[in-house]
Structure 1
Amino acid sequence: MTWNSYHRRGEVLAAVAATADARRDGLLPTDVAGVAETFRDDLDLLGALQLRWHTRLAGRIDRELSGQPLDLEAAVVAAWVATAGDLAGVRMVLDRAMTEGAGEEADRMLGIAVTKERLVLAAMAGRSSFDDAASAAVGAAIEDRARATLAAEAAAPPRVGAHAAGPRPTLLDRLRAALAA
């Protein structure tokens, strides 16, 4: 892959993610300009979206853990929820492909990706090691908690008042501010 084709692929993938987010119908946006020329097939595009999701989630988990090290599982849940907010359309495409099936090869690829994601969730939450046989089940429970949190946040009325513009400061943030003062 040349430098230009690498950048073109990134641009088209960004357009696909933006289209998925705008539509929020869970359908793989194969009608975006450049998709047919840039991706081999739907599986290639779906795999690229899965990688985008995983990469964003891993970065968000790292960021959350650096700011909230006392409750690892809460940080991992918060990272999953925030990533699902950032990539809502992508998450819908991946979820729809998982529930409705996207073909034998895509189902196998997504199954492997989900299992690996759940292993990461469990390990980063401090609940198991990466090679623990029960890690995927623990990770699935953490994912379920994150999905429930996301659904509750979506159903809750918007916040008003002092913290409406951003997230509430954590205890660690407040302690840092007090020490700095």
Structure 2
Amino acid sequence: MTWTTYHRRGEVLSAVITAANERGDGLLPTDVEGVGAVFRDELDLLGALQLRWHTRLSGRIDGHLGRQPLDLEAAVVDAWVATAEQMPGVRAVLDRALAEGVDPEADRLLGNAVAKERMMLAAMAGRSSYDDEAAVAVGASIEHRARLAWASSAGAAPARAGAPATAPARTTTLIDRLRSALAS
């Protein structure tokens, strides 16, 4: 891949992400200009979206762990929610592809990506190691907690238009955490 092709692919991927976030319908935006020229097929585009999601999530986790080192799991959940709020359309596209299936090869690759992401969530939350057999299940429970927090957060994104309307989640402050620690 040439430098020009690399940059063009990045520009098109950014346009795809913008379209997915604006639409919020979970459909893969293959109609964005340039998609056919820089991505081989839908699987290539879906893989690029998955990689962008994973990269953004990983970076957010690192940042949240630096700011909130005492409660690792809460930091991981907060990072997942922040990433989903920044990329709701991408999350919707990935969730729809996982739920409905694309084709056997895409389903296998997405399944592997989900397992790796869940292992990362569990490891970064301090609940398991990457090679632990339970890491995927532990990561799934952390992801579930993050999804619940995202669904209850204020300002429901278009990708969550069908989510139940609830009161905005209250941000936990240092004082709240200290009170909780002293009460227990």
TM-score, normalized by length of structure 1? 0.88
The separation in 2 between residues aligned to 1:171 and 1:4, in whole angstroms, is 47
What amino acid is aligned across from residue 55 of structure 2 in structure 1?
T
Q: Note if contact 1:73-1:142 (Cα within 8 Å) is conserved in structure 2.
A: yes
Query: 1:26–1:95: 8 Å Cα contact kept in structure 2?
Result: yes
Q: Which runs of 5+ in 2 are unaligned?
A: 157-164, 176-184
2:174 equivalent to 1:171:
yes
> Which residue of 1 is the match for residue 15 of structure 2?
15
- Post-superposition shift, 1:169? 7.9
Distance 2:145 2:17 in 1: 25
Moved over 6 A (4+): none
Gaps of 5+ in 1: 160-166, 173-181
Q: Distance in 2 between matches of 1:34 and 1:126?
A: 42
Which position in structure 2 is the counterpart of 1:57? Answer: 57
Contact 1:49–1:90 (Cα < 8 Å) also in 2: yes
Deviation at 1:152, TM superposition (A): 1.3
Residue of structure 2 equivalent to 1:149: 149
Q: Aligned residue for 1:177?
A: none
Tell me the CA shift for residue 171 of structure 1: 2.0
Q: Distance in 1 between matches of 2:173 and 2:66?
A: 12
Distance in 1 (CA, whole Å) between partners of 2:84 and 2:55 is 12
Instruction: Tell me the alpha carbon deviations over residues 72-103 of structure 1, each in whole angstroms, 9 at most, x when there is no partner.
Output: 00000000000000000000000000000011
Q: Distance in 1 between matches of 2:173 and 2:6?
A: 39
Show the 5 A alignment for 1:65-76.
65-76=65-76
Structure 1 counterpart of 2:90: 90
Give the root-mean-square deviation of aligned CA atoms: 1.8
How far did residue 158 of structure 1 move? 5.7
* Map of 1:176 onto structure 2: none
Contact 2:78/2:146 (<8 A) preserved: yes
Kept after mapping to 2: 8 A contact 1:68/1:170: no
Given the alignment of the two structures, is residue 104 of structure 1 paired with residue 104 of structure 2, yes or no?
Answer: yes
Contact map agreement 2:120 2:139 (CA 8 A) in 1:
yes
State how far apart, in whole Å, the 2-side matches of 1:43 and 1:137 are.
Answer: 26
1:107-153 CA-to-partner distances (Å, cap 9, x unmatched) read 01100000000000000000001100000000000000000111111
Amino acid at match of 1:125: A
**Paired AA for residue 41 in structure 1:** D
| Identical columns (%) | 68
Which position in structure 1 is the counterpart of 2:34? 34
Alpha carbons 1:122, 1:139 under 8 Å: kept: yes
Counterpart residue identity of residue 103, structure 2: G
The secondary structure found in structure 2 opposite 1:69 is coil
TM-score under structure 2 length normalisation: 0.86
The answer (yes or no) to whether the contact 1:73–1:125 under 8 Å persists in 2 is: yes
